[in-house]
A and B are shown apart, each in its own frame.
Chain A
Amino acid sequence: MQNLWLIPAFPFLGFLLNGLFGRKFPKAVINLIAVASVLASFGWVLKVWSSGGDLAANPIHEHYFTWMQSGQFNVGWDFAVDKLTMIMLFVVTGIGSLIHFYATGYMAHEEGYYRFFAYLNLFMFFMLNLVLGGNYLILFVGWEGVGLCSYLLVGFYIVKKSATTAGNKAFIVNRIGDFGFSLAMFLIVVNFKTLDFTQVFSAAPGAPTSTLTAIALLLLVGATGKSAQIPLYVWLPDAMEGPTPVSALIHAATMVTAGVYMCTRSAVIFLHAPIAMETVAVIGLATAVFAATIGLTQYDIKKVYAYSTVSQLGYMFLGVGVGAFSAGIWHLVTHAFFKALLFLGAGSVIHACHGEQDMRHMGGLWKYAKGTGATLICASLAISGFPFTAGYFSKDAILGAAYAHEPWMYWVGVVTAGMTAFYVWRAFWMTFTGEYKGHGHPHESPWSMLGPLVVLAILSLGGGFFFNVPKILDNMFPIKEGAEDMTLTYISVAFGLGGIALSYYMYVVNTKVPERITAGLGGLYTLVYNKYFVDEIYDTAVVRPLVDGSTTVLWHVADQGIIDGAVNGVGTEARGIGGILKLLQGGNIRSYATWVVVGAVVLLVVMGVTAMGFAAVGQ
């Protein structure tokens, strides 16, 4: 036994301690509990990894108890660890520890300190359940749990209306995805009589393609919700209302990649459903381009990175869709490094500018915050695919595989890579060069915040060397040979560098250019700046009709009319009848006595008449 259950148990213990008693703890104790619990589970992951032996040949599988049983159908509380899970465990606990540490500095002056860390630990617990789960239902428990924590943490600033609205939006949009996921699970149960990964995947190749396609597409619906893909991506940019460490941990590095993990986990099903695979690739690519264009125009630094996250998640789905599962996971890992760093760096920038998030009110921070600036350079290089940084390897693997699948997908992906480099560096130039245009005096962040930034910067630069995911996942997925053509790599690097150079020209050398372009594009710019009005379209097409329909039909007619009408009607009728009957209750004892006598006489008469009737019949 490796006691895998300890991995999620540590953060859960931290959640219980901080959540139940945190109000009374001093901050140092809350910090200790929160950080130590995640570090402990990171330590236990290390221990499992070092003593686990060859995970490819002998995946660890631990069964704790039977959760539900119904006839032949049986779901156990099972944890399983293979190489894919191991990678996810390292990402979740490793990045999680860093971000917990960072958050102790970032949240130091916030209200509800203990509440924040309790939720954060609870999130770790559910996320670890998600990746450790040995069947779809345990995965789903984690899946829903992280959704809950996302909701709680997005709406963490409970006095802020926009934050609670954003939390609701994240939760409700995810319900649509979860609906698809649930249907997929029902289909799996109906067809395979089990939810256990190993049993499902060994039975899947024998199932009809139409069934597998349906399951895969429904799983994809779930993944588009959780991983913010078209058409359900709208919640993620709004989720930036949450505190920045939350954006880094949940909405960049871990939770939003759960959809990619789930699709990769279900690789067997997807591989036998070519139509679903093609859909995944197209949705991923479309999301990548679409979100990147929006990212070009945003001014809120966190919104830029949020659209960047949506776009990069699109890349991962592109990788999965063209069959390069390990490349998708590779990008998941490197993206976790550099996107967590971008968000934490953004948090540091926001901290430096006293809570300002609009990049037009920043600028010239290099003088004041060199540490943050240097780490952000590393992250921006990595996401632009600068040679030999982490993003270079993984993005290249995906683009190579995309070329082998469909050359046009490669070209769209490369253009997106250019846009990515442009908007990320645009954000950097706008915040760190020029004159400071904000209020107050900017200051560098404390070491508790800079420390994790430095670690992540090293990982962003060298992560591609340290973690060669396709090599680690050797043989786990069918080998998808990328086109072994260095020209493709040169082209994508050239696009990345071009993006960086263009942004340098437009935002440092000649700062009049963006205005002229904006003016020249006119309506098109307005369209993109307003995020293609997707929120407004959803509002008109889905939300309004639903709300209005519910108001008129469900509220006014069904609830007030039928249900309230019936309930109140019974009450009114009872009062009416009682009003008549109470006239009998005069309080005069002799009138009661009279009624008794009258009743007795009537009874006697009736009995007499009936008796005579019987007697007559008898004759």
Chain B
Amino acid sequence: MPEAMQVLQSGVPVSWYLILSAVLFTLGVAGFLLRRSVITVFMCIELMLNAVNLSFVAFSNQHKDVSGNIFTFFVMVVAAAEAAVGLAIILTVFKNRQTLNIDEINTLKN
């Protein structure tokens, strides 16, 4: 029996999920730090949140404990609310400054 089939039969090990989650999270962090468009930064934040969600679900499944799933729901609710408010802010910023370059939105200093 090929190794891949074995894996599918006995279930995917939790470490795979965690690795995927870590990769997604790192991508999110990298995008968050490096991209200039506010929209992209915003999407990267969503990516990080969902990477964390993935770990929650994986652990929840491994421990047979439902609280990980419940946490995921909370994170999704917060993310949805954040998306609504965040997009509204982004719209207003664009209306006022005609730019979404994050390096130019820098008046919150000193």
User: A residues touching B (Cβ–Cβ < 8 Å)?
Assistant: 582, 585-590, 593-594, 597
B 64-110 contacts with A by CB, 8 A: 102-103, 105-110
User: Which of A582, A586, A590 has a CB less than 8 Å from the CB of B33?
Assistant: A590
The answer for the CA separation of A594 and B103 in the assembled complex, in Å, is 14
User: Which of B32, B41, B105, B109 has a CB less than 8 Å from the CB of A586?
Assistant: B109
Residues of B within 8 A of A590 (CB): 33-34, 102-103
User: B106 and A587: CB pair below 8 A?
Assistant: yes
Given contacts A590-B102, A590-B103, contact A585 B33 (CB under 8 A): no
The answer for the CA separation of A610 and B32 in the assembled complex, in Å, is 29
- Asked if B39 is at the interface (CB within 8 A of a chain A CB), the reply is no
User: A593 and B32: CB pair below 8 A?
Assistant: yes
Show 12 A/B contacts (Cβ-Cβ < 8 Å), sorted by A.
A582-B110, A585-B108, A585-B109, A585-B110, A586-B106, A587-B109, A589-B105, A590-B33, A590-B34, A593-B32, A597-B29, A597-B33
The answer for the CA separation of A585 and B29 in the assembled complex, in Å, is 21
**Knowing that A590-B102, A597-B29 are A-B contacts, what are 7 other residue pairs whose CB atoms are under 8 Å apart, sorted by A's residue number?**
A585-B108, A586-B106, A589-B41, A589-B102, A589-B105, A590-B34, A597-B33
Residues of A within 8 A of B34 (CB): 590
Residues of A within 8 A of B105 (CB): 589
User: B residues touching A (Cβ–Cβ < 8 Å)?
Assistant: 29, 32-34, 41, 102-103, 105-110
The answer for the CA separation of A590 and B102 in the assembled complex, in Å, is 8
The answer for the CA separation of A589 and B33 in the assembled complex, in Å, is 9
If over half of A's interface residues share one DSSP class (helix, strand or loop), that class is named, otherwise mixed; here it is: helix
Closest chain A residue to B106, Cβ basis: A587
Residues of B within 8 A of A589 (CB): 41, 102, 105-106
User: Which of B29, B103, B110 has a CB less than 8 Å from the CB of A588?
Assistant: B103
Closest chain B residue to A585, Cβ basis: B109
7 closest Cβ contacts across the A-B interface?
A587-B109, A587-B106, A585-B109, A589-B102, A588-B106, A587-B108, A593-B33
Closest chain A residue to B35, Cβ basis: A590
The answer for the CA separation of A497 and B110 in the assembled complex, in Å, is 92
User: A594 and B108: CB pair below 8 A?
Assistant: no
The answer for the CA separation of A593 and B103 in the assembled complex, in Å, is 12
The answer for the CA separation of A587 and B103 in the assembled complex, in Å, is 9
Residues of B within 8 A of A585 (CB): 108-110
Closest chain B residue to A600, Cβ basis: B29
Closest chain B residue to A586, Cβ basis: B109
Residues of B within 8 A of A594 (CB): 33
Residues of B within 8 A of A587 (CB): 106-110
Closest chain B residue to A587, Cβ basis: B109
Residues of B within 8 A of A588 (CB): 103, 106, 109
Task: Identify which of A582, A587, A597 gathers the most chain B CB atoms within 10 Å of its CB.
Answer: A587
Residues of A within 8 A of B106 (CB): 586-589
Closest chain A residue to B107, Cβ basis: A587
The answer for the CA separation of A589 and B103 in the assembled complex, in Å, is 7
The answer for the CA separation of A589 and B29 in the assembled complex, in Å, is 14
The answer for the CA separation of A593 and B106 in the assembled complex, in Å, is 13
The answer for the CA separation of A331 and B27 in the assembled complex, in Å, is 107
Residues of A within 8 A of B103 (CB): 588, 590
Q: Give, as a whole number of angstroms, the nearest-CB distance from B71 to chain A.
A: 19
The answer for the CA separation of A278 and B41 in the assembled complex, in Å, is 98
Closest chain B residue to A588, Cβ basis: B106
Q: Give, as a whole number of angstroms, the nearest-CB distance from B29 to chain A.
A: 6
The answer for the CA separation of A375 and B30 in the assembled complex, in Å, is 109
Closest chain A residue to B103, Cβ basis: A588
Residues of A within 8 A of B107 (CB): 587
Q: Give, as a whole number of angstroms, the nearest-CB distance from B96 to chain A.
A: 16
Residues of A within 8 A of B41 (CB): 589
The answer for the CA separation of A142 and B18 in the assembled complex, in Å, is 88
Q: Give, as a whole number of angstroms, the nearest-CB distance from B64 to chain A.
A: 25
Closest chain B residue to A583, Cβ basis: B110
Residues of A within 8 A of B33 (CB): 590, 593-594, 597
The answer for the CA separation of A280 and B39 in the assembled complex, in Å, is 96
Q: Give, as a whole number of angstroms, the nearest-CB distance from A581 to chain B.
A: 11
The answer for the CA separation of A594 and B109 in the assembled complex, in Å, is 16
Closest chain A residue to B105, Cβ basis: A589
Q: Give, as a whole number of angstroms, the nearest-CB distance from A591 to chain B.
A: 9
The answer for the CA separation of A590 and B106 in the assembled complex, in Å, is 10
The answer for the CA separation of A584 and B102 in the assembled complex, in Å, is 17
The answer for the CA separation of A588 and B109 in the assembled complex, in Å, is 8
Closest chain B residue to A597, Cβ basis: B29
Closest chain B residue to A582, Cβ basis: B110
Residues of B within 8 A of A597 (CB): 29, 33
Closest chain A residue to B108, Cβ basis: A587
